[in-house]
Amino acid sequence: MSSLRRLRSDGLPRQWVFRLLASLLVGSCAVPSRAEEPASPAWKAASSQIVITPEDPMWMAGYAARTEPSQGVEQDLFAKALAVEDAGGTRLVIVTTDLIGIPRSLRDGILATVEERFQLPAESLVLNASHTHCGPELRVAKSSVYGLAADRVAQSRAYAEKLEASLIELIGATLAELQPARLTYSFARAGFAMNRRLPTAGGIRNSPYPQGPVDHSVPVLRVANLDGELQTILFGYACHNTTLSFQKFCGDYAGYAQADLETAHPGVDAMFLAGCGGDQNPYPRRTLQLAQDHGRALANAVETALSVAQPREVTGSLRLATATIDLPFLPPPSRETLTDWKGSANRYDRRRGTALLQQWDEEGGLPTTYPYPLSVAQFGGDLLLVTLAGEVVIDYARRLKQELAGDADVWVAAYSHDVFGYVPSRRVALEGGYEGGGAMRYTTLTGPFDPNVEQQIVQTIKRLAEQTADRH
């Protein structure tokens, strides 16, 4: 069952069109006929999507070397929502977006409203970004580092405000369409991601590293209706969404994968949930054809997962938990160091030094920690979904899947809740390089992070997983 709705435009970018889909779940692996419908289905679900492509040219996110705004649209950008509810009324909404990231301010604004309006608490909402580098820059905090003019800052702020309102409406409309649903889970593999931290005599270099750690798994959650008809596909992959670097709006490989799946399955919402791809790149890169090819490769992997003869049935109840922990930075730079940065010939060091000196003067010092949000969602004893903030490196996914291994499959997503910069593992932090701390140059954070943040994050996730474990 599906329907098509158009929201009031109210000056929002482009069309912001909803496609609302719902699906049915039963406890048996066999799909029952209508006469066999259970009186109280185990799950309800619905999904929706809207176009979020900016109407006008905007400054684009992700590459500091850019010197001009966007120059057209190669592919529309989307926000999509999947809502699920168990038999006890516990709900989870996953929102995926073709954006560089979710700013903390955007998340906080949405959370405050959906909790009041839809009784949806923080643990029941996951906001995820595909991390396309061909989307708009909506992180106003980046303006000082990028040196954006006042009109560009105002444009980013206006876009973010309209986006917040529209995502809230998207969430509400999706929750209103919940219908009985069946959920199954399976996975496949795609091979175009490669580690990009090449060890050299001069240190870590951003270049293909075939011997580096990767995670090629493609987890897939399938939502079907009472008749077994596919309604929604939620899938993930751990790889930077950076095939392209041109000046047009585009979802990159993740956008093409979703588009290919929706073309192959008319009326279905295909949703990409970005994984721990902080130190992974798609190779080869830099052409539109390659982005389309990688998208097709990922879509093929999803199709393979969908064709599994005996997918895992998702049963039981939905149990959720979230936490915010203070991740420590290494000792912050001194005022003398910041003054040196302010006078640097490098424009990013100069802008960062200026911003941090101003913060020091206004607040009497610099932050020594960062408030880091993370969450878990236990789907019965069948699937554990871990969602982490920031650009998380692959070590986290590999470690968590190993240490949380049990009866449930483990799915680790990053780029959720708050995308502020890189989150290194202990190994990456000690090795240094871009993900290990070098990328802090392009932020106003006082990092790098202490290498011990990995243990802090992993232990918190393990605690939340234990807290929400299936006891039956």
Between 415 and 19, the more confident residue is 415
**How far is it, in rounded angstroms, from Cα 182 to Cα 30?**
10
Q: Which residues contact 157 (CB under 8 A, 6 or more apart)?
A: 140
**Residue appearing with tokens 């369409």:** 177
CB-CB contact of 388 with 236 (8 Å): no
Q: How far apart are CA 195 and CA 197, in angstroms?
A: 6
User: Following CA atoms 257, 184, 305, 392 in sequence, which dihedral angle do they give, to the nearest 10 degrees?
Assistant: 60
Q: How much of the chain, in percent, has pLDDT values that exceed 90? A: 84
Confirm if 184 and 311 have CB atoms less than 8 A apart.
yes
Question: In the predicted model, is pLDDT for residue 21 greater than 60?
Answer: no
The residues that bridge with 126 in the sheet, in sequence order, are: 94
**In this predicted model, what pLDDT tens digit does every residue of 113-162 receive, in sequence order?**
999 999 999 999 999 999 999 999 997 777 777 788 889 889 999 999 99
- State pLDDT tens for residues 50-63: 999 999 999 999 88
**pLDDT for 471:** 63
- Alpha helix stretches (DSSP H) within 243-367: 252-264, 288-306, 335-342, 347-363
SS3 57: coil
**Are 311 and 185 a contacting pair, CB within 8 Å?**
yes
Mean per-residue pLDDT, 160-172: 98
* Rounded CA separation 429/426 (Å): 5
Other beta carbons within 10 angstroms of residue 74's beta carbon come to 18
170 phi and psi, to 5 degrees?
-60, -45
- Express each pLDDT in 219-272 by its tens digit: 999 999 988 999 999 999 999 999 999 999 999 999 999 999 999 999 999 999
> How long is the chain?
472
pLDDT class for 41, splitting at 50, 70, 90? Answer: low
Mean model confidence pLDDT for the chain: 91
Structure tokens at 30: 């066999």
The conformation of residue 249, written as its DSSP 8-state character, comes to B
- Please state, in angstroms and rounded to a whole number, the distance separating the CA atoms of residues 457 and 178: 33
